[in-house]
């Protein structure tokens, strides 16, 4: 037998024009459409024991059931599943009360101008708390549907009347519809096995779930987790082997995290279509699966941005160890973070969490992250400053706080220097960003200074001859910088000599 929930999920959005929709123009039309559709499904199941999808019955019948329920206030992730349980509960309640004659229920002619119930907006089934109300906005505006309050409390309403007998007159009833809905499997092969189980396993329930479904739930969950773990392991291994070596294969490794993201959805489909998990266990499983899928989507976002960056950096115009490459990597991480926040907000709304709560959570999380990672953020900002100013590049020699060496690598957190002693020093980027750096690698020329000490008793002519000889030696010398001509001049007196200073570049 195929449970009602599967029909609801499969048929949502697939109704064709020839199948028609429910008449919800009045409380009478809505109630009649709902009862007739539920009885039609029940009759089909009673007739063949299993509802064959090939007959196409679910298209029109379940569409009419959905059209009668105002499920706008249900969370999106469980809307269809919850609507299935609500439909079964409402039908069980209606089957246990004496309904008024059809002409006593407000119809279209009664609601129209001049009618007995002109402009009526709500009608309650006598003897119940089931209300049919007019929708004032949205896609089904001005239609009469089972109200959101009725939908929200339908399961509790049912449990309060389930001990009462079915009525013996009036519209046809659907005996044990809710029990069938909660306990029946969703596949012929599974149904054949369940058919031979004792009633305690077949219909008995523990923690809101039929007993025979618990093993299937644990097995499906274990298989899904194992597949996800394997997918992520394959992604890590394949990425490590192909990154920087085979770019195309590295790009293709994203199929593993994408596959892992799909697994939770596959699991919930299996639970719904084969085992027909129902009620709170299904909602919990759906919530958990979608939450895991959201986290997996975040991994996919970062994996995709990383791969796009590798393609850009692989361009011949970009030095993979230079500042531009590091700036591209930082930008990709910021873009990945922004996309991840968007995924978090969209996923949270789908789970039924108000956007204000999500934004507040994101804000509090951001503050907590900032407080807990002050040093990391400070280093990151230092890296951004280095990327913007570019005071040095890989391969250039710099002097920083007594360290004199060649830049070997510029990372997101630190820069590595190979000192002239061949030792390697790692310096945090935030320190480099706020301290003076002498870039020897970018000097235009080498400045030399030499002092010549001449005894005080040296004759003047010999001093002048010496100075002239030095100037002649430096004049038009190979390698001299024309913008900085050499200088030879008197500099200082010493106790027993005076100094002639020679400067050249």
- Residue-level pLDDT at 131: 94
- The model's pTM is 0.56
Q: Is 377 inside any structural domain?
A: no
What Å distances lie between residue 488 and 67, 446, 460, 479, 483, CA to CA? 100, 17, 16, 18, 16
- Is the distance from CB of 327 to CB of 383 less than 8 angstroms? no
- Is the distance from CB of 26 to CB of 144 less than 8 angstroms? yes
Q: Is 384 inside any structural domain?
A: no
Residue 322 and residue 414 in one domain: no
CA-nearest of 387, 404, 408 to 330 is 387
| H helix or E strand, kind and range, residue 199 | helix 199-202
Residue 283 and residue 364 in one domain: yes
Residue 336 and residue 463 in one domain: no
Task: Give per-residue pLDDT as tens, 290-315.
Answer: 888 888 888 888 888 888 887 787 77
Q: Is 249 inside any structural domain?
A: yes
Residue 143 and residue 242 in one domain: no
Q: Is 202 inside any structural domain?
A: no
Residue 43 and residue 166 in one domain: yes
Q: Is 421 inside any structural domain?
A: yes
Output the six-digit token pair for 341. Answer: 């926040």
Residue 421: how many other CB atoms lie within 10 Å = 9
Residue 144 and residue 241 in one domain: no
Residue 135 and residue 180 in one domain: yes
- Residue-level pLDDT at 55: 43
Three-class SS of residue 450?
Answer: strand
CA 120, 125, 128, 129: dihedral to nearest 10 degrees? -30
The stretches in the chain having pLDDT less than 50 are: 1-19, 52-57, 372
What CATH number is given to the structural domain containing 438?
A: 2.30.30.60
Task: Show the DSSP H helices in 373-484 as ranges.
Answer: 374-389, 429-434, 460-474
Residue 297 and residue 354 in one domain: yes
Residue 40 and residue 88 in one domain: yes
- Is the distance from CB of 400 to CB of 418 less than 8 angstroms? no
Which structural domain, as residue segments, surrounds residue 160?
4-184
Q: Is 192 inside any structural domain?
A: no
- Is the distance from CB of 144 to CB of 25 less than 8 angstroms? yes
- Residue-level pLDDT at 358: 54
Output the six-digit token pair for 356. Answer: 């204000």
Q: How far is CA 160 from the centre of its chain?
A: 41
Q: Is 17 inside any structural domain?
A: yes
DSSP notation for 290-318 = HHHHHHHHHHHHHHHHHHHHHHHHTSTTS
Residue 32 and residue 180 in one domain: yes
Burial of 216 (0-12, 13-18, 19+ CB in 10 A): middle
Residue 33 and residue 124 in one domain: yes
CA-nearest of 38, 4, 54, 3 to 194 is 3
What burial letters (b/e) apply to 318-356, b meaning 16+ CB within 10 Å?
eeebbbbbbbbbbebbeebeebbbebbbebbbebeeeee
- Residue-level pLDDT at 7: 34
Residue 41 and residue 169 in one domain: yes
CA gyration radius, the chain: 40
Angle at 99 between CA 98 and CA 104, to 5 degrees: 140
Q: Give CA–CA dist 155/120, Å, rounded.
A: 27
Output the six-digit token pair for 202. Answer: 């077949």
Q: Give CA–CA dist 89/157, Å, rounded.
A: 8
Q: How far is CA 450 from the centre of its chain?
A: 67
Q: How many domains does the chain have?
A: 4
- Residue-level pLDDT at 18: 36
Q: How far is CA 63 from the centre of its chain?
A: 32
Q: Is 380 inside any structural domain?
A: no
């Amino acid at each position: 037998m195929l449970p009602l929930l599967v029909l609801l999920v499969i048929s949502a959005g697939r109704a064709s024009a020839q199948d028609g929709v429910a008449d919800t123009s009045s409380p009478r039309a809505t109630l009649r459409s709902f009862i007739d559709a539920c009885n039609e499904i029940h009759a089909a199941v009673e007739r063949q024991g299993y509802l064959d999808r090939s007959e196409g019955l679910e298209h029109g019948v379940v569409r009419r059931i959905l059209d009668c329920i105002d499920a706008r206030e249900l969370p999106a992730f469980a809307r269809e599943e919850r609507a299935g349980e609500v439909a079964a509960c409402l039908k069980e309640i209606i089957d246990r009360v004496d309904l008024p004659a059809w002409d006593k229920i407000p119809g279209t002619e009664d609601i129209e101008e001049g009618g007995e119930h002109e402009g009526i907006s709500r009608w309650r089934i006598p003897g119940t708390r089931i209300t049919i109300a007019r929708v004032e906005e949205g896609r089904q505006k001005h239609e009469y549907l089972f109200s959101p309050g009725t939908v929200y409390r339908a399961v509790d309403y049912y449990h309060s009347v389930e001990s009462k007998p079915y009525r013996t007159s009036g519209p046809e009833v659907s005996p044990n519809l809710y029990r069938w809905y909660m306990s029946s499997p969703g596949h012929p092969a599974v149904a054949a096995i369940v058919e031979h189980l004792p009633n305690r396993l077949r219909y008995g329930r523990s923690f809101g779930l039929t007993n025979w479904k618990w093993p299937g739930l644990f097995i499906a969950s274990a298989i899904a987790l194992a597949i996800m773990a394997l997918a992520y392991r394959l992604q890590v291994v394949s990425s490590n082997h192909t990154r920087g070596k085979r770019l195309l294969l590295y790009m293709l490794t994203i199929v593993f995290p994408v596959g892992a993201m799909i697994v939770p959805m596959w699991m919930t489909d299996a639970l719904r279509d084969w085992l027909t998990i129902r009620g709170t266990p299904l909602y919990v499983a759906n919530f958990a699966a979608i939450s895991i899928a959201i986290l997996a989507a975040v991994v996919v976002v970062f994996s995709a941005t990383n791969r796009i960056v590798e393609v850009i950096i692989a361009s011949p115009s970009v030095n993979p160890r230079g500042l531009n490459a590091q700036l591209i990597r930082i930008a990709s991480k910021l873009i990945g973070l922004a996309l991840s926040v968007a995924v978090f907000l969209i996923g949270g709304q789908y789970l039924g969490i108000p956007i204000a709560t999500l934004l507040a959570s994101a804000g509090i999380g951001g503050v907590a992250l900032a407080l807990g990672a002050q040093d990391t953020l400070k280093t990151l900002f230092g890296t951004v400053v280095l990327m913007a100013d570019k005071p040095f590049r890989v391969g250039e020699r710099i002097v920083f706080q007594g360290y004199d060496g060649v830049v070997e690598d510029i990372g997101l957190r630190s820069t590595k220097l190979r000192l002239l002693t061949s030792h390697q020093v790692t310096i945090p980027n935030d320190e480099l960003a706020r301290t003076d750096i002498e870039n020897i690698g970018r000097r235009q020329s080498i400045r030399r200074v030499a002092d010549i000490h001449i005894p005080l008793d040296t004759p003047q002519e010999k001093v002048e001859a010496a100075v002239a000889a030095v100037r002649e030696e430096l004049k038009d010398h190979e390698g001299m910088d024309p913008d900085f001509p050499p200088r030879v001049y008197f500099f200082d007196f010493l106790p027993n000599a005076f100094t002639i200073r020679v400067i050249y570049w």
